[in-house]
């Protein structure tokens, strides 16, 4: 496991874990979180958010917010995804999450194979959300925050079922898109939405 705290002769170096959620959906923003864990207040059970039940994620989300040395959640909107592409929008959300930390990290560990420009040393770790506790914590915060937001969008744009499928391209979502057309939160650059807009004229 990677450490949160690195100590040199000259300074204490804080390490932040970073991850995103929501790259694959057809609707809603992409979220990102950054977490610096407190070595004095360890949190048991941190892991890749996709391996945890919603109930377990909710418990850990609360513990991370209460016990982490610093944490933040940031977003890139559906409009930014369409304008920049999903990869660059994900990088932007991660940049915003790191910038919002109340403790400035000296090193950033990112889940995946690419790093955003965060103004300090950064390392991409494939499968990092299951290997590095701080990245696992970030994956949990990003996932829980996005799921909650999709519940809000379900109430704002009824009929699409956002609270259930979270914007992913399920059969029910595609059927609702065909019936209702896209709402302002749909990603118009994504194939199924773009194709439907073309058909609808």
Show me where the domains of the chain are located.
5-200
Report the chain's mean pLDDT, rounded to a whole number: 93
Examine the pLDDT at 88 and tell me if it is beyond 50: yes
According to the model, what pLDDT value does residue 10 have?
A: 43
Is 117 known to sit in a ligand binding site? no
| pLDDT tens column, 167-178 | 999 999 999 999
Q: What pTM does this model have?
A: 0.92
Is 19 known to sit in a ligand binding site? yes
* Of the candidates 144, 32, 34, the residue with the CA atom closest to the CA atom of residue 91: 32
| pLDDT tens column, 125-143 | 999 999 999 999 999 999 9
Examine the pLDDT at 2 and tell me if it is beyond 60: no
The fold of 5-200 is: Nucleotidyltransferase; domain 5 (3.30.420)
Quote the CA–CA distance of 58 and 29 in Å, as a whole number: 20
| pLDDT tens column, 41-77 | 999 999 999 999 999 999 999 999 999 999 999 999 9
Is 20 known to sit in a ligand binding site? yes
């Amino acid at each position: 496991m990677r450490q949160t705290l690195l100590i040199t002769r000259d300074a204490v170096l804080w390490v932040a874990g970073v991850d995103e959620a929501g790259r694959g959906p057809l609707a809603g923003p992409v979220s990102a979180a950054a977490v610096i864990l407190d070595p004095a207040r360890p949190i048991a059970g941190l892991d890749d958010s996709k391996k945890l039940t919603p109930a377990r994620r909710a418990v850990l989300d609360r513990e991370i917010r209460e016990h982490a040395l610093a944490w933040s959640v940031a977003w890139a909107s559906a409009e930014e995804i369409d304008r920049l592409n999903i990869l660059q929008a994900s990088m932007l959300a991660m940049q915003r999450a790191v910038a919002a930390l109340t403790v400035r990290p000296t090193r950033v560990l990112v889940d995946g194979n690419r790093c955003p420009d965060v103004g300090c040393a950064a390392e991409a770790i494939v499968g990092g959300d299951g290997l590095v506790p701080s990245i696992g914590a970030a994956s949990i915060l990003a996932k829980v925050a996005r799921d909650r937001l999709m519940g809000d969008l379900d109430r704002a744009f009824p009929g699409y079922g956002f609270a259930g499928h979270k914007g992913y391209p399920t059969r029910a979502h595609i059927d609702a898109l065909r019936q209702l057309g896209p709402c302002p939160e749909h990603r118009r650059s994504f194939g199924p939405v773009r194709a439907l807009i073309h058909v609808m004229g």
